[in-house]
Structure 1
Amino acid sequence: MNWNDWIIHNELIVKLTVFWGVFFLMAAWEQLAPCRALTISKSLRWINNLGLVLLNGVVLRLLFPAGGVGVAVFVQQQGWGLLNYYQIPLFTSIVISVVVMDFIIYSQHIMMHAVPVLWRVHRVHHADLDYDLTTGIRFHPIEIILSMLIKAAVILLLGPPVLAVVLFEVLLNAAAMFNHSNIQLPGRLDRVLRWVLVTPDMHRIHHSTKEDEANSNFGFNLPWWDRLFGTYRDQPRGDYQSMVIGISGYRDPRQVERLLGMLALPWSGDILSYAINRRNRDQK
């Protein structure tokens, strides 16, 4: 059995192993050396955030039983996609695929902030009143479904190797838990890492209640896109310990930290209350 076949048959085991391995590693790190004091009951947040993760997993398996890997296998069998039209070494094809898909995630993230109806859905991620590793995996099911459809479209057009799709999904989940974790790296290490990886301090700025800060640092994994397209912000106005996390006007834990409240959040509030608009772009 070659690597391709092994990955296809063991995809779920690989994903779950890495997911829970990174989860428990970051949970222990947060416990031993937290960056910020939490303001909301950790058990309340974790039970509901992880409940949402479980719900999303069930929804994806029901709607897309084969997932992105299934699409990649189909595309490979049909010979579709840009990368299947050229003789490219596997390693090069994997690198190209991971970088391109990461750019798509960055672009999708900006779109979720820029389009009012999509911001309604994405608010579930931003409305968390604290910032830790479970924030990184907390998304509304509608956003999860939309992300899957976008990923499938990219796979159809790009034709990435199956291994690249699994690797990207594993890296994205691991990076999301890492850069949303309640840890603080030494300043010098953070500055170096920011050139190759989105760090917790870098992405924490994106979860500020200040809208111009929330409209920066959109990257989830690779930090290059923010620097390249002018959405990078080095530091918040204040410090990382005292900055307010969440969305102004959505501060009730019953609405933003309980599962039913999170599921209903897209239908709450004024549709004009979204992140990227002319008023925000004019802020200094």
Structure 2
Amino acid sequence: MENEALIRLVIFLGLFSLFAAVETLAPRRVRAQQRSKRWVTNWGITIANTLLLRLMALGLPLLAVGAAADAQIQGWGLFNAIDLSLWVEVIAAILILDFAIWAQHLITHKVPLLWRLHRVHHADVDMDVTTAIRFHPVEIGLSMLVKIGLVYLLGPAAIAVILFEIILNGTAMFNHANIRLPLAVDAIIRRVLVTPDMHRVHHSVHRHEHDSNYGFSLSIWDQMFGTYIAQPAAGHDEMEVGLEWQDDRPARFGWSMGLPFARK
């Protein structure tokens, strides 16, 4: 618990560097914009998110991992009411949390107010490893509150929440990265995990395509609930990524932060 934040940061930076290097050496698609300006904006957004979560931690001392530890002390939640081995509990908790994130993601596409927040993520006209960290701070704050509530309902071991967060962050960076996988390898991986080609469909400018493939980690939920689209209609090389703003506005920090509050 004491080193949890440092461990997660080291893993995050290591995976980010790995995927950034791979997409530089072997990109899947030609970039629509220069990487430098987009990266400054996307990193600026994630720094704002980090500061918000730090502020939330002052008012809510128990964020997701802390909530798991507190639920265990208080005896609250499903897993504190039943007797399971630690690793069965960890696996079950990770599956339930991943499904919850999938369902939450679907809801953000269906509820207009939440979509106004979530479209900051989708407005990026390129898709690479930094797109995985491009979420509006208000969306991040609301997501954390939902996660805290779910953790109290489940009462999972703190290690389960830590592992889930590491897996979620790592797979999100992987499937947003602009990397090329051999088709045979992609076909095998996407039976269980979301691949870059699978998730790219979700970033299509076409509504019927970006209302699909909601998974960040496991691909099984989209396959089970009929929200899976295997490939974009235009093909990966010709498809357009983003929303209606196919210019340099999504690469601007101020514009991106203000997008949820714009009239359109």
**Identity percentage over the alignment?**
47
- Tell me the equivalent position of 2:57: 64
* 1:83-94 to 2 correspondences below 5 Å: 83-94=79-90
Matched, 1:217 2:210: no
Matched, 1:117 2:110: no
- Tell me the equivalent position of 2:248: 253
Matched, 1:22 2:22: no
Aligned length: 261
State the alpha-carbon separation in 2 of the partners of residues 175 and 54 from structure 1. 20
State the alpha-carbon separation in 1 of the partners of residues 213 and 124 from structure 2. 17
Q: Letter of the aligned partner of 1:238 in structure 2?
A: A
State the alpha-carbon separation in 2 of the partners of residues 241 and 184 from structure 1. 11
Q: Letter of the aligned partner of 2:248 in structure 1?
A: P
* 1:67-216 to 2 correspondences below 5 Å: 67-216=63-212
Conservation of the 8 A alpha-carbon contact between 1:71 and 1:152: yes
Across the aligned residues of Structure 1 and Structure 2, the Cα RMSD in angstroms comes to: 0.9
State the alpha-carbon separation in 2 of the partners of residues 138 and 110 from structure 1. 17
State the alpha-carbon separation in 2 of the partners of residues 184 and 191 from structure 1. 13
Conservation of the 8 A alpha-carbon contact between 1:61 and 1:67: no
Length-normalised TM-score, structure 2: 0.97
Q: Letter of the aligned partner of 1:253 in structure 2?
A: D
Give how far 1:64 is off: 2.3
State the alpha-carbon separation in 2 of the partners of residues 46 and 136 from structure 1. 11
Conservation of the 8 A alpha-carbon contact between 1:49 and 1:135: yes
Give how far 1:252 is off: 3.2
Give how far 1:48 is off: 0.8
Alignment gaps of 5+ in structure 1: 1-7, 271-284
- Tell me the equivalent position of 1:275: none
Give how far 1:269 is off: 3.7
State the alpha-carbon separation in 1 of the partners of residues 98 and 6 from structure 2. 23
Q: Letter of the aligned partner of 2:52 in structure 1?
A: V
C-alpha offsets along residues 176-207 of structure 1, whole Å, 9 cap, x if unaligned? 10000001210001000011100000000000
Conservation of the 8 A alpha-carbon contact between 1:71 and 1:156: yes
C-alpha offsets along residues 231-273 of structure 1, whole Å, 9 cap, x if unaligned? 000111021111100002x22323x111111110001243xxx
Alignment gaps of 5+ in structure 2: none
Q: Letter of the aligned partner of 1:60 in structure 2?
A: L
Length-normalised TM-score, structure 1: 0.90
Q: Letter of the aligned partner of 2:118 in structure 1?
A: H
Q: Letter of the aligned partner of 1:211 in structure 2?
A: R
- Tell me the equivalent position of 1:267: 261
Q: Letter of the aligned partner of 2:25 in structure 1?
A: L
